[in-house]
Copies of this chain bind each other. A is one copy, B any other.
Amino acid sequence: MKSQVVSFLIKCPDQKGLVAKITSFFHEKGFNILSSQQYVNAIEDTYFMRVRLNADGTNISKEVLENEFLELATPLNIDWSVNYGDKKQNVAIMVSHTSHNLYDLLERSKEGRLDCNVIMIISNHNKLRYVADMFNIPFYHLPITKETKLEQEAQVKKIVDCNEIDLIVMARYMQILSADFINYYPEKIINIHHSFLPAFQGANPYKKAYERGVKLIGATAHYATVDLDEGPIIEQDVKPVTHESTPTTLKRIGADIEQLVLARAVKCHLNHQIIVSGNRAIVFPEAGE
């Protein structure tokens, strides 16, 4: 195993001795535990863990590691996943008309602030092709109408699957994806919504925020689920505003929040910090990474 950092994400019923058993397992296999983070949900009696390992001192194969961990995991009812950090993840970005999130993700990816390969940009409009061109990323213009919705989604699916995409980021893609599409990529689609959910679900949140006279506006990044704007929340932030703000200025102020919130959420996902449990996202903080 040549990779630097191996990450395990673990979820199971809470029970005595879990930390000891799991950390002893890795210790015995020769790993150095870089960080081990736990969370016990006492309401649901569930245990969550994120372990980051340095594989330098061990020459166990991935296969053996996984088989032996499975032996530990099965009697403890552990749901788990492992990532070997030896392959950059492939990302597809979906957009419509709004450019700020797109620029930001492309810049972060290009400059190494996001550890991924942006493989493609998919849009129902042609407007943002020039941004893709600036960053030399393939741009797929796949228009959509009520009538062609399923067909267009089939096209999206096809190019996504052909390119081994690990994560789809909806960076202000202003179409509602079908339940079929969403269910085909569980916990693989991150959406940015331009309000502090659950406030102002659906269309035109900045207009609604103006009308309600709120004193702060926000943005929410969440996993897309079949219930619109109701998926597990990964990251949220807000900024104070005043009565002076119009829907137009709220939109402009909000753009900066959307940008940061989406970038942070994508980073947490790429960095294997998230375990979804029901409709809640357990987001472990970075451990000095």
Q: Which residues of A contact B (CB under 8 A)?
A: 16-21, 23-24, 26-28, 32-43, 57, 99-100, 103, 107, 111, 113, 134-135, 196-200, 211-216, 218, 232-238, 242-246, 249, 252, 255-256, 260, 263, 279-283, 285-289
Contact at A20–B16, with CB atoms within 8 Å? no
Docked CA distance A43–B250 (Å): 14
Neighbouring B residues of A19 by C-beta, 8 Å: 19, 23, 27, 33, 36
Given contacts A16-B57, A38-B35, contact A197 B214 (CB under 8 A): yes
Contact at B288–A40, with CB atoms within 8 Å? yes
Contact at A212–B198, with CB atoms within 8 Å? yes
Can you name 5 extra interface pairs (CB under 8 A) apart from A196-B238, A198-B199? A198-B214, A212-B233, A215-B235, A243-B282, A260-B260
Docked CA distance A239–B194 (Å): 18
Docked CA distance A288–B244 (Å): 5
14 A/B residue pairs, CB under 8 Å, sorted by A: A17-B27, A21-B27, A23-B23, A39-B243, A39-B244, A107-B107, A134-B135, A212-B233, A213-B280, A215-B235, A216-B218, A218-B238, A246-B288, A249-B288
Docked CA distance A256–B113 (Å): 11
Contact at A246–B43, with CB atoms within 8 Å? yes
- Identify the closest chain B residue to A238 (Cβ): B238
Q: How far is the CB of A287 from chain B (nearest CB, A)?
A: 6
Contact at B243–A215, with CB atoms within 8 Å? no
Contact at A216–B198, with CB atoms within 8 Å? no
Q: How far is the CB of A35 from chain B (nearest CB, A)?
A: 6
- Identify the closest chain B residue to A103 (Cβ): B107
Q: How far is the CB of A271 from chain B (nearest CB, A)?
A: 12
Contact at B24–A34, with CB atoms within 8 Å? no
- Identify the closest chain B residue to A136 (Cβ): B134
Neighbouring B residues of A233 by C-beta, 8 Å: 212-215
Q: How far is the CB of A258 from chain B (nearest CB, A)?
A: 12
Docked CA distance A246–B41 (Å): 8
Contact at A216–B238, with CB atoms within 8 Å? yes
Contacting residue for A199 out of B27, B196, B286, CB 8 A: B196
Docked CA distance A41–B287 (Å): 10
Neighbouring B residues of A289 by C-beta, 8 Å: 249
Q: How far is the CB of A38 from chain B (nearest CB, A)?
A: 6
Contact at A249–B39, with CB atoms within 8 Å? no
- Identify the closest chain B residue to A215 (Cβ): B236
Neighbouring B residues of A288 by C-beta, 8 Å: 39-42, 244-246, 249
